[in-house]
Each structure stands twice: as structure tokens, then as C-alpha cells.
Amino acid sequence: MLRRDFFKLPLLSLLFSASLPLLAKDEQPTLKFLHVTDSHMDLSMPQTVEWMEHLRDVVNTKFSHIDFVLFGGDNFNNTAPGDSDAKKFKEIIDSMRVPAYCVRGNKESTPKPDPKIDAKEFRDLFFRDDMLVNGGDWMIHKKGYIVLGLDSTIEHSAAGRFKPETIAFAKKILDLGKPTIILDHHPYLNYWGGSDPHDIHKYVLQNAQEVIAQLFTYPNLILTLSGHKHIDNVSRIGHVTAIATRAFKAAQMHNQNPMRYIEITGTQIRHRLITT
């Protein structure tokens, strides 16, 4: 499926049906992938570039069997002049032997010192031809599963919320009934038990309750993946597993950068936090 703006869903349903392999009645494909978030690659800190290059090497040697890598925002610090940091990040992930898919975090939506890497520039650099694109959001399907990449950023702010068009897009995709994963930057819960209103405003998706009411009632939404707070957590919101993966940069040590390995078979989710 070529990348393009959102088109009629009945046709999309037919494309799904035609593209899936015929399976035995009791056979379910297993989706395997890595979730990497808050890598904060920064050209002014060469070790962060080395970490990303080491991640690329680990993926290519130990995880070439997986279906893809999902990058959950704050992928690069967006502080280099022009687009040099974005292009370096893209060069690294493009050299992986498996596809890599990215959503924006607040670092990508708050460019410093210039506005070069804005939403359009991010789309032009990182949205792939196998994505179904709707504005700043995207969808892919693999092995009968859907991954929704949703843009939770607010321009020039560390806080986040889903726009009405993002929620509408997610609902139309969820209406297809396929097991679905949502990838975005901002978590839905104050899972660290913070009491500072400013802290909660910054880190928890601002319209989380609306999003939970609108999307988490779908029985085929099985997993959400986020980051932003840099603290690892696995929660349940109704029937949905909500994971916030520890920041890739958190350990501040080469070869010790955290990420999450995930396998999904049907609605069964197996995962573990690992390091490079």
C-alpha cells in the first residue's frame, strides 16, 4: 500500500482481506517488535549518536527476525541547526534490516534554535511509503494487526493532547475490528503518582479521559505504547495493556540503553524490558 492521505475505509477493508495469508483455523501469526522511546539523540553529545548506532547494530545482528522497530518520540533533541540531527537519526534507522516507524515527541514539536524540523518536515523525512497517512497520524498493518501512530504533541509545548481529527482517525481504523496497537508519546495515566499539577499537566495526555472514553472501549484495542516521563510502567486501563517504556537514554551508559521487546499472538501480549 503506498503512502497517501486517508481514503475510503470499505476499500481499505478489502485491501486488508486480500493481503492477509490464509491460515489454519487454529493458527495465529505472532507479531514481534521493539519499542524504543526517548532516545534523545543529540549531535552535541557524540555518545548519544554512538548509542543509536549500537542499537542499529544490535537490531541487525540479534533482532533481524522481528517485524519492525517503533520509535515513540523525543527521538532526537532537535537542537542542531537546520535538519542535520534529524537526517542523522534517519540515516541510522534506515540502515536497520527491519522497518522503523516513528511518531513525534515534544522535542520534535519544539525545535530549537530554528523551526526547520516542524510537523511537515518530520512527515517528509520519516513517514514511509507503506503507511496510510492522515495528517500527522499514520497506520500500518502487519500479519493481521494494526499499528496506529498518533501525534500527541502540542506545538512548542512539552504537554500533549490528541486533536479531534486524531481521535476521529483512530476510531475509523478501530472500526475495522482488527487487533490494534496505539503508539504515541504522552502516557494516559499519572502512573508515577505525582502530586505537582504542573508535572501532571506536562506529562499526562491532557485529554486522556476523553481519549479513554472514546477509544479504550473498543475490544480490539489491545495495547498502547508511550514514553515521555522516562519511567517504566505497565498498567491496565480496562482491558487494554498500557505500557510506558523507560527512556532509551535513561541509563546514560553505552550498551545499557533500555527498550522493550514485545510479541503478540492474537490478544496475548508477552513483553520484557531489555537493554542493548
Q: Residue 22 — very low, low, confident or very high, per pLDDT cuts 50/70/90?
A: very low
Best CA proximity match to 102, nearest among 111, 92, 115:
92
Q: Which amino acid is at 18?
A: A
Residue 271 in this model has a pLDDT that exceeds 90:
yes
Q: Which residue has the higher pLDDT, 80 or 191?
A: 191
Please list, in sequence order, all residues whose beta carbon lies within 8 angstroms of the beta carbon of residue 255, skipping any fewer than 6 positions away.
54, 275, 276
Q: Say what the pLDDT of residue 115 is.
A: 64
Residues 42 and 144: their CA atoms lie apart, in Å, by 36
Residue 32 in this model has a pLDDT that exceeds 90:
yes
- The stretch 65-70 carries a mean pLDDT of 98
Residue 183 in this model has a pLDDT that exceeds 80:
yes
Q: Say what the pLDDT of residue 235 is.
A: 98
For 138, counting Cβ atoms within 10 Å of its Cβ (0-12 exposed, 13-18 middle, 19+ buried), the class is buried
Residue 137 in this model has a pLDDT that exceeds 50:
yes
CA distances from 9 to 67, 169, 171, 183, 267 (A): 25, 11, 11, 21, 23
The H-or-E segment that residue 33 falls in is: strand 30-36
- Class of the 30-275 domain? alpha beta
Q: Could you tell me the pTM of the whole model?
A: 0.91
Residue 208 in this model has a pLDDT that exceeds 60:
yes
